Structure 1
Amino acid sequence: MSDKIEVREIKPSRPRPAAKTKMGDQPVHPNNTIYVRAMKGVFQRLRRYGGWFLMALFMLTPWIPYQGRQAILLDIEAQQFNFFSVTLFPQDLILLAFVFMIAAFALFFFTTFLGRVWCGYTCPQTVWTFIYIWFEEKIEGARNKRVKLDRTAWNFEKLWRKTFKHFCWLAVALVTGITMVAYFVPAPDVVFGLVTGELSFAATFSVIFFMLATYANAGWMRTIVCTHMCPYARFQSAMFDKDTFIVGYDVDRGEARGPRKRKEDYKAVGLGDCVDCNLCVEVCPSGIDIRNGLQYECINCGACIDACDQTMDKMGYEKGLISYTTEHRLAGGTTELVRPKLIGYGLALVVMMIAFVVTANLRVNFEVDVLRDRNQMFRETNEGWIENTYTLVLVNKTQQATQFHLSVEGLPPHEWSGPQQIEVAAGDVADVPISLAVDPYELTSPMTRIEFVVTTDSSDDARRVDSRFFSRR
């Protein structure tokens, strides 16, 4: 039997009326304006507190100091990514690649297991959208008041409420834009640069771009981003199966739906537990009716679950008419938590995490590279000695200034021209030009294999780099 979810055509028992969200009698498409009703409940508290925590974490992280500098700073101009005590260079980008792969397989794993929980609880689009809706509720009122306000002709109250709402939206968007750029440019420089007008054009443009993008996405587009622009909503079906936890409506228990009195024997008249209060639709940020079955617009936020549970509690019915469930469970079967697809994603995730840890442990605190003079292989000095010229490239990956000691092995008695001790600043790269000269009578072949040895005061590790010494013999 295939684990794929069959596509079925939904034919509602009664047509859904078009929403009238503007003045006059001309109805507009219900997706144009979705008035989300505020709802309290377990899942909404989890989403609300989690959203505020993630927002605060995002906003405050660039301001965390560490050893006299910004703790997390992705300095693209200097080609350095600083994460507290770790500084990553372009040579370490494989670690960032592993981080992205771990995030991808974690997303696949949790989507297969719990559906679109990323979308419902932690996606930035969702977090910012719900924060914008929170401002909307506080300024314009509850859902019914917002609908009434939009249908009312323009007056002073409508003007100041709308103006203040958009002012708050733009303020949040501006802080978001500044914070985004503060991950790449030191946060104080961004703020003071904007105030004084000394911020670079690229940074200023980035702040304005992220501000307008946040304002448009969270304030105006909202679920349009999820349904029409986000690729995750499109390819998630490849990870779903009948054992994936989704927000589902128990059709057998709920139908036939209809209003009734609280103490009425509704089953005697052929009704199910659904009282058709329509709260599950009013609280949905995507404006869908979960009773029509699984839909790709659903982001698994659980708002409809909280709404339905409150209604069931008031009616004295058992909760869970809408719940986190699976297709197998809705069909009367059992859910298999452990299955090949989930195990495959889990193993891939573990392998990526192990590879990241191993690669991180093999990372060295400094790197050495040797470049030969490309203009000539060797030259003869005034004393008749053979001289080769090199450039030693020293990369200090630590966050402290480091003293390097340079030497060479494999050569007969020689003269070293250039520094043999050099201090390299934290996270800096130093080019050290040197030359080695040898009496030609001490050389036995046209090419001699040598090793440059580099040590530091702060570590017992030594880096050995192979090179060659050329002569005319």
Structure 2
Amino acid sequence: MVEKIPVKEETDVGADAQVNLYQASDKIYVRKIDGFYQNIRRYTGLPLLLGFVLMPWFSIDGRPAMLFDLPERKFHILWATFWPQDGMLLAWLLIIAAFGLFAVTTLVGRVWCGFTCPQTVWTMMFMWAERMFEGDRNKRIKLDKQPWSAEKLLRKGGKHATWLLIAFITGVTFVGYFTPVRELLAGMLPYRDETGFLSWGIHPAAAFWTFFFAGMTYLNAGWMREQVCKFMCPYARFQSVMYDEETLAVNYDAARGEQRGPRKAHEDYKANGKGDCIDCSWCVQVCPVDIDIREGLQYECINCGLCVDACNSVMDKMGYEPGLIRFTSEDALKTGHTRFMRPRLYGYSIALVAMLSAFAYALGDRQPLSVDVVRDRGARMYRVSKENIINVYTVKINNMDRVGHTYDIDVRGEGNYSLSHQPVYLEEGEIFTIPVRVKIPGDQVVAEKSEVFITVTAEQDDGISAEQKTTFIAPLPSP
């Protein structure tokens, strides 16, 4: 016998009626369901989750594989180190991610929300812990209605202890991207200082953010859940701008399903004017945001596909064709076909290819070296020595590579420019400032201001080179 949830009739709200926007929402008891889309959620979320948790523990060249070192203003990502000068790359990466999100939403709706969003993945883990201690939907409803007892306290306590453990691991892992995770955990262990008092080696800021993110994880994934998706996430609000009639989303085939209603196993329901929907409400019971997909497309829907799995399982038991609820477009429901590629998607695709190509080129052409040249702005704009005109510059060299280098400095321009200096050795991440004198014979001066280029090149690898343009000032020779 198919289980049904109670249905209550809602009266229309009059124009003058007041609606309490702060009224507490009813608790959602999500039914466990297995199926194709549930497996996809599992197999897409698990690798991302493992990557998030394990990445801070890997080491490359003696440092964490991914470390955002804010005090030193360095971002270590795998084998590369990025500096504030590379901020443009981050801006481009965010723009590319935004365009990618727009393109994917236009094509297949909010699949990011339903399958790989951190809020969804962490909520799945918390719901798993909830089912492990309290059972499936009916058992949880029954347990909440029971008076407090030792068994209820044990089940609730075990659930919340597991939630807190997951939240703590999340907070440590997140802060581990900004502070070496091994040092972070070691600092949490108490020790006795020289005075005999207990102390902790963790920095107060690191401790604060660890417990802050642990608390927010516990709150968001354990208590707020669908409220985050409905009211806090801005993506739900502007998704309608990216949807069109060809967007693939979870839809209910009303032409096939209506009129809905229960029926006997071998009843000729079509002769009685009924559709394929038996009104079992499983699609509502498995929905993590508590909507009825049969009422049409709603902004709360995160396209997780759980209602598709639930409906297909019921259709299979009834011997009906699956797909009453399925990923399809509004146009396909009306005409039976849909267009995957359309002008909007062509535009997004062209923009993405162009931006990805430019980003890949900028990343490949990036030099782990920056040079800043400042011309001496003292009282004398130039100097004359033995018929040579001399300008003085301050050259600031920043070795952004992960190894030390010896750097040579050279100058070029329209004329016989030259400079003399000793090679400079810089350790990894070292910044060095050196004054240099650029000179040219007075009889080769052709203009009061000329462009010159000062180049800094690594002796060990001439592919590591940076150049800065500056101005050379000289008096014109007497006629």
Q: Could you say which TM-score interval applies, normalised by the shorter chain?
A: 0.7 to 0.9
Q: 1:297-308 maps to which residues of 2 (within 5 A)?
A: 297-308=300-311
1:216 maps to which of 219, 228, 231:
219
* Amino acid across the alignment from 1:330: L
Whether the aligned pair in 2 keeps the contact of 1:389 and 1:433 (CA below 8 Å) is: no
Aligned residue for 1:268, secondary structure, equals coil
Deviation of 1:202 after TM superposition, in Å, equals 2.2
The 10-residue stretch of structure 1 (376-385 or 70-79) with the greater mean CA deviation from structure 2: 376-385
Question: For residue 354 of structure 1, what is the aligned residue in structure 2?
Answer: 357
Whether the aligned pair in 1 keeps the contact of 2:283 and 2:307 (CA below 8 Å) is: yes
2:97 maps to which of 90, 98, 103:
103
The 10-residue stretch of structure 1 (349-358 or 458-467) with the greater mean CA deviation from structure 2: 458-467
RMSD over aligned Cα atoms: 3.0
Deviation of 1:420 after TM superposition, in Å, equals 1.7
Q: Provide the C-alpha distance between the structure 2 equivalents of 1:440 and 1:330, rounded to a whole number of angstroms.
A: 82
* Amino acid across the alignment from 2:99: F
Q: 1:6-405 maps to which residues of 2 (within 5 A)?
A: 15=8, 31-196=25-190, 197-377=200-380, 389-405=392-408
Deviation of 1:187 after TM superposition, in Å, equals 1.8
The 10-residue stretch of structure 1 (257-266 or 229-238) with the greater mean CA deviation from structure 2: 257-266
Deviation of 1:397 after TM superposition, in Å, equals 2.6
Matched, 1:431 2:452: no
Whether the aligned pair in 1 keeps the contact of 2:175 and 2:209 (CA below 8 Å) is: yes
* Amino acid across the alignment from 1:274: C
Whether the aligned pair in 2 keeps the contact of 1:378 and 1:387 (CA below 8 Å) is: no
Aligned residue for 2:31, secondary structure, equals coil
In structure 2, relative to structure 1, the CA distance for the partners of 1:142 and 1:402 (3 Å cut) is same
Whether the aligned pair in 1 keeps the contact of 2:249 and 2:329 (CA below 8 Å) is: yes
Whether the aligned pair in 1 keeps the contact of 2:249 and 2:327 (CA below 8 Å) is: yes
In structure 2, relative to structure 1, the CA distance for the partners of 1:288 and 1:30 (3 Å cut) is farther
Q: Provide the C-alpha distance between the structure 2 equivalents of 1:232 and 1:408, rounded to a whole number of angstroms.
A: 52
Q: Provide the C-alpha distance between the structure 1 equivalents of 2:412 and 2:24, rounded to a whole number of angstroms.
A: 78
Deviation of 1:110 after TM superposition, in Å, equals 0.8
Q: How many residues align?
A: 448
Write the deviation string for residues 168-192 of structure 1: whole angstroms up to 9, x where unpaired. 1111111111111111222222222
In structure 2, relative to structure 1, the CA distance for the partners of 1:147 and 1:15 (3 Å cut) is closer
The 10-residue stretch of structure 1 (45-54 or 279-288) with the greater mean CA deviation from structure 2: 45-54
In structure 2, relative to structure 1, the CA distance for the partners of 1:30 and 1:335 (3 Å cut) is farther
Q: Provide the C-alpha distance between the structure 1 equivalents of 2:123 and 2:309, rounded to a whole number of angstroms.
A: 19
Q: Provide the C-alpha distance between the structure 2 equivalents of 1:377 and 1:174, rounded to a whole number of angstroms.
A: 63
Q: Provide the C-alpha distance between the structure 1 equivalents of 2:172 and 2:380, rounded to a whole number of angstroms.
A: 52
Write the deviation string for residues 41-94 of structure 1: whole angstroms up to 9, x where unpaired. 011011123222221111111112112111111222222222212222222111
Q: Provide the C-alpha distance between the structure 1 equivalents of 2:35 and 2:232, rounded to a whole number of angstroms.
A: 30
Whether the aligned pair in 1 keeps the contact of 2:383 and 2:391 (CA below 8 Å) is: no
Q: Provide the C-alpha distance between the structure 1 equivalents of 2:118 and 2:98, rounded to a whole number of angstroms.
A: 16
Whether the aligned pair in 2 keeps the contact of 1:30 and 1:287 (CA below 8 Å) is: no
Aligned residue for 1:247, secondary structure, equals strand
In structure 2, relative to structure 1, the CA distance for the partners of 1:325 and 1:110 (3 Å cut) is same
Aligned residue for 1:74, secondary structure, equals strand
Whether the aligned pair in 2 keeps the contact of 1:412 and 1:442 (CA below 8 Å) is: no
* Amino acid across the alignment from 1:460: D
Q: Provide the C-alpha distance between the structure 1 equivalents of 2:389 and 2:400, rounded to a whole number of angstroms.
A: 35
Q: Provide the C-alpha distance between the structure 2 equivalents of 1:382 and 1:335, rounded to a whole number of angstroms.
A: 79
Aligned residue for 2:127, secondary structure, equals helix
Aligned residue for 1:81, secondary structure, equals strand
TM-score of the aligned structures, taking structure 1 as reference length: 0.86
Deviation of 1:294 after TM superposition, in Å, equals 1.0
Whether the aligned pair in 1 keeps the contact of 2:258 and 2:277 (CA below 8 Å) is: yes
Aligned residue for 2:185, secondary structure, equals helix
Write the deviation string for residues 408-467 of structure 1: whole angstroms up to 9, x where unpaired. 567989885xx62222222x1422233539799899798776543322123224444344
In structure 2, relative to structure 1, the CA distance for the partners of 1:441 and 1:164 (3 Å cut) is same
TM-score of the aligned structures, taking structure 2 as reference length: 0.85
Q: Provide the C-alpha distance between the structure 1 equivalents of 2:387 and 2:212, rounded to a whole number of angstroms.
A: 65
In structure 2, relative to structure 1, the CA distance for the partners of 1:278 and 1:30 (3 Å cut) is farther
* Amino acid across the alignment from 1:391: T
The 10-residue stretch of structure 1 (260-269 or 127-136) with the greater mean CA deviation from structure 2: 260-269
